Structure formats: structure tokens, C-alpha cells
Amino acid sequence: MQVNITFRHLEPTDALKTHVRERVAHVGRYIDRPGEAHAVLHVENLDHHAEITMKAGRFLLRGTGRSQDMYASIDAAAERIEKQLKKHKERLYDHHKTNGHATEAAPLEVRHDVLDMLEHPDRPRHRVVKSTQFQAKPMSVDEAILQLELLDARFYVFQNATDLAINVVYKRDDGNFGVIEARAG
């Protein structure tokens, strides 16, 4: 597995690089199709932050850790990913064993913009402060919910494998999940 490490406001040492690679390799044992991993290590005030993102097949896994020690932060980020994988490993195995996708479609390109509202005396306006592009891959609603949980995100955009429509799954305030389905009218 290829591991990329980014250091911010921190001296890149061989010991830290080795520790990250060892922790990623340890977590990689739980992944059937390991792809690549990216770790971002940075210091903010007195806190040491570690964020590890791993690509496993069609899924992205993200774990973060923060403590007074960078090694402990790396361990916490890796353990978070490991817990996610252990929790969902059986569910992933059972799902892929029983559900095949009959329809194969090319993933759709989706752009997500973060807007900043600018106050103007005559009319309110907005400007794009961050833009992300990604592919909405065909998958079932169950797979999308699993991806949402693995990413620890608030919403996840995907292409429904059943009807190839763009859908969004999101976590509701009551702990349940919601699905928004977009269909041509």
C-alpha cells in the first residue's frame, strides 16, 4: 500500500514516518483491496493532530486523532479506522456476497461548493470559498450509508445502482438516516 505523509508546522522525522507506515500496515490487514493512504500530521497550538485517510476499494476511510503527543495522535487515528473496519467488516462481506450490481454505469462527476455569503447594500451575494469534485459511484443505499458511517460525514452523494439516479444519504438529528432521491421530471 502506498502511504503519503504530509507534515505541517512539524519537522518530518524518519521515526514519525515509520510509525505512520507501521500503523497503516496494521490497519491494512483488515482491508481486502488496500489502495493508498494519506496521513496529514500537524501541530496547532500545543495539540498534535493526525488525520489518516485510506482508500479501500470503492470506500474511503478516515480517522483523526488529537493529543499532546504525535505518536498517540497517530495511534488514535489508526484505531478509529480499525474500529470502523471491524464494525463493518462482516456487513461488507455479507453485502458483497449477496448483492451484485446488475447494471454497470460510469460514475457521474459531482462538484461540491462551499459558499460564503457577502453582504451588499443592494442585494446579498455569495462567492465560492472551496470547491471539491468527486465521482458519484453506482452503489446501493446500504453501501452509501456504510460509506457515510466510514467517512464519519454528515451526508454522502452517490449514484443509485438500481435506477442510476443521483441520491444523497444523510444522518438525521434523531440518529436515523435520510435519503434524498433526484429524478428527472
Per-residue pLDDT tens over the stretch 17-42? 999 999 998 888 777 666 789 999 99
CATH architecture of 2-98: 2-Layer Sandwich (3.30)
Stated pTM of the model? 0.54
- Residues 39 and 6 sit within 8 Å (Cβ to Cβ): yes
Q: How far is CA 118 from CA 17, 27, 93, 121, 159, in A?
A: 42, 44, 48, 10, 33
Q: List pLDDT tens digits, range 138-169.
A: 888 988 888 888 777 788 888 888 888 889 99
CATH code for residues 108-181: 3.30.505.50
Structural domain spans, the chain: 2-98, 108-181
